[in-house]
Amino acid sequence: MTELLDGLWQASLWLAVGALLLAALRPLLVSLGGAGLAYRSWWLLPLLLVTLLLPLPRAAVLQHVPTVPLKVVPGAVDGLTGQSLPWVLLVLLAWALGMGICLLRELRAQHRFERSMGPLRARADGSWQASGDPGLPALVGLWRPRIVVGPAFDQQFTARERHLILQHEDNHRRHGDHWANGFLLLMRAVFWFHPLLPWAARRFLRDQELACDARTIGPQPALRGLYASTLLKAQLVHPVAPAVCHWRSQPVLKERIAMLKQSKRKALLWVPGQVLVVGVCVGMGAVAWASQSGAMADGVAVAVMDREIQVDKMPPPSYPKSAVEQRQEGVVTLRVEVDAKGHPSDVRVLGATNPGVFDAASIAAARSWNYRPAMKNGKPVAGAVKIPITYAMDGNEDGQ
């Protein structure tokens, strides 16, 4: 459970760093490659999440792994370990509850939007006409996205305006923007506690609309005036469905029209813009990946250390209540990998004479101990230590 909390903390930190970096780079990206380049730069955030899931090379393991034995008897229980697990459990329960509430709220909003459209009727132009208008035209759905227009679509817009609107929504579909919105919905549920995520989500959706406008009007620049007037002609409402690509977007209307008025970008600036985005994504992803460990191992086994790993504070784990009641004894042998900063990066069970009885208590205790890293050539390095923990009743040494 602590691994999950550590992962959430690391992911939240890097999401904040990535969002702030994109906000700082956005003016430069827009000047180099327009709205499309700024929208593509948002790939940085899912890339950071993926890199945090990639495994690191194993820490350089000592040819001689030091052993630090420990014995536990009923009554020799340190309260720290016994109380840490409930707090972790409460935090995880609060996170899971918040995620469930947020996900349910978003899905209900999506369902309410789709239900308010009423029955749909297929049109000759490939779109679908709704009997209600909760905020149409829009690209609706994830698995089977459909362009849905309102009941007064033909009366409200001319043929050329209808063609531009359908082109815009079809651009959303062909470039997978509906999938991006679905992923955003999931991220908002998982990281519901993140203070920067609502702000980043609004900026992402804004860049999505600007990029779609640029793709739609790019091949036909002579229609910019008509496109802008079509934006103004629609009744403006705020989007109410999380997984819908809306034509109407009042919060960014002025920026969308202003972007249409800008002159066409020079082709030569497109290349440095792409290089900048790729460089930022690769560089930040590499830093996030390497941050999972205090030091990257060189992959070569170390023969001699100036100092082996030491454990400064080693309060014994709790003797499980069920084991005490059943007078169970056993030995759990742990392997603890300690990074160059003295943090336990990995704790796993090498063997147990009574599997499953003492494993959880042993791992929780090992993660709470204070370690001093091994030293090589006067510098701290990553390494490993073997810790056999004997659980014995009444001081018996041979209880296993």
If DSSP codes are grouped into helix, strand and coil, which group holds residue 349? strand
Does residue 395 fall inside a structural domain?
A: no
Instruction: Give domain status of residue 263, yes or no.
Output: yes
Mapped onto helix, strand or coil, the DSSP state of residue 122 is: strand
For the whole prediction, is pTM greater than 0.85? no
Q: What's the pLDDT tens digit per position in 164-215?
A: 999 999 999 999 999 999 999 999 999 999 999 999 999 999 999 999 999 9
Confidence (pLDDT) at 40 = 93
Residue 341: inside a domain:
no
Residue 131 covered by a domain: yes
Instruction: Supply the Cα-derived Rg of the chain in whole angstroms.
Output: 29
- Asked if residue 162 belongs to a domain, the reply is yes
The per-residue pLDDT for 83 is: 43
Query: In this structure, what token pair is assigned to residue 275?
Result: 């290089």
Into how many domains does the chain fold?
Answer: 1
Residue 195 lies in a domain: yes
pLDDT score for 215 = 93
Please give the pLDDT value at position 121.
96
Are 239 and 249 contacting, i.e. CB atoms less than 8 angstroms apart? yes
- Look up residue 215 and give its two tokens: 């793709």
Strands 344-352 and 379-381, by their bridges, are: unpaired
Report whether the peptide linkage leading into residue 344 is cis, meaning its omega lies within 30 degrees of zero. no
pLDDT at 80: 39
Residue 397: per-residue pLDDT: 46
For residue 304, tell me if it sits in a domain: no
Q: Which residues of the chain have pLDDT under 70?
A: 1-3, 56-66, 75-86, 235-240, 249-251, 262-270, 292-305, 395-400
Q: How far is CA 223 from CA 33, 64, 136, 230, 259, in A?
A: 21, 74, 22, 10, 14
Provide the domain limits for residue 120: 2-57+93-289
Determine whether 312 is exposed, middle or buried from the number of CB atoms within 10 Å of its CB (0-12, 13-18, 19+): exposed
How many residues in the chain? 400
Under 8 Å between Cβ of 139 and 145:
yes
Q: What pLDDT is recorded for position 257? A: 82
Contact 391, 332 (CB under 8 A): yes
Q: Tell me if 264 is assigned to some domain.
A: yes
To which H or E segment does residue 383 belong?
strand 383-391
User: At 257, is the secondary structure helix, strand, or coil?
Assistant: helix
